[in-house]
Amino acid sequence: MPQLSYSIVHDPGPDAPVLILGNALGTTRELWAGVAYRMADDYRIVTFDLPGHDPASHTADDLETQLADLTLADIASGVTAIADAIDADTFLYAGLSISGGVAMQLALDHPDRLTAVAALCAAPKFGDAESWDERIAIVRADGTRSLIPDTADRWFAAGFLDEDNPAGPMVCEMLANVPDAGYIACCQALSRFDLTDRISDISIPILFVAGAQDIGNPPESMRALAEQVDAGEATVIPDAAHIVVAEHPDLVCDALTAFFSRTENRS
């Protein structure tokens, strides 16, 4: 199990519920800054880096070999280890993209630890092995920076990068600076990930959040996932594509806060 690098970014007090936030592939924990700031008064907020994505990974020896067998179940276990380290018996979790897959894995593997989870712009299976092999080959040849032009088109809604908003360039720079080996390891983990036949087994409240313009995880797919879960819900962030937490942190904050409040009222 990888040891995940994390930070407690907001702590309003010991009575506040713990909320752990997970990032998209090729980004770092700062991705959630806008959402975390808006939720800071009500939650003890923890952010973490995916395996091989933290600053220490830049100097790690043979990182790809260390992470060769990485799975999303490993990352989910790493998240529960964070909760253990901060003495949180139960917690809330929200994850974007690959970390949305981790949200589903957490709900299945550790339901007793979670009050509720949110999976943003995610799927129970991300593409196929061939597409991941192709992306890995590109990164081996030219590095993660070479992915920016095509990735930015998928990550952001039309026109977002033309706005005077520092979030877009910041996220692209994250991708450029992530260690190639860490990115590759997470691609390999995604190529092995498949919870398609297990979604209906999720027993805790889960919110599926879609970006209205997300090509890979469109709103209709997210709604279909929610319909498979007894305590499943779905919502759509307008004028957003894949990296909804950077495009509209205010709307994501509203969606998460409303959902988590509803789950607290049920318990």
pTM of the prediction?
Answer: 0.96
pLDDT reported for residue 3 = 86
What span, in angstroms and rounded, lies between the C-alpha atoms of 48 and 31? 10
Percent of residues, the chain, with pLDDT higher than 90 = 91
Least confident stretch, 18-27, 46-55, 190-199, 230-239: 46-55
Is the model's pLDDT at 60 over the cut of 90?
no
pLDDT tens per residue, range 178-219: 999 999 999 999 999 999 999 999 999 999 999 999 999 999
CB 67 within 8 A of CB 51: yes
Triad 32, 36, 37: Cα angle to 5°? 120
Query: What is the DSSP pairing of strand 44-48 with strand 6-10?
Result: antiparallel
DSSP 248: -
Q: How confident is the model at residue 267 (pLDDT cuts 50, 70, 90)?
A: low
Query: What do you get for the CA distance between the two ends of the chain, in Å?
Result: 31
Q: How confident is the model at residue 26 (pLDDT cuts 50, 70, 90)?
A: very high
Under CATH, which number does the domain 6-266 receive? 3.40.50.1820
Average of pLDDT values for 82-95?
A: 98
Cα Rg of the chain, angstroms: 17
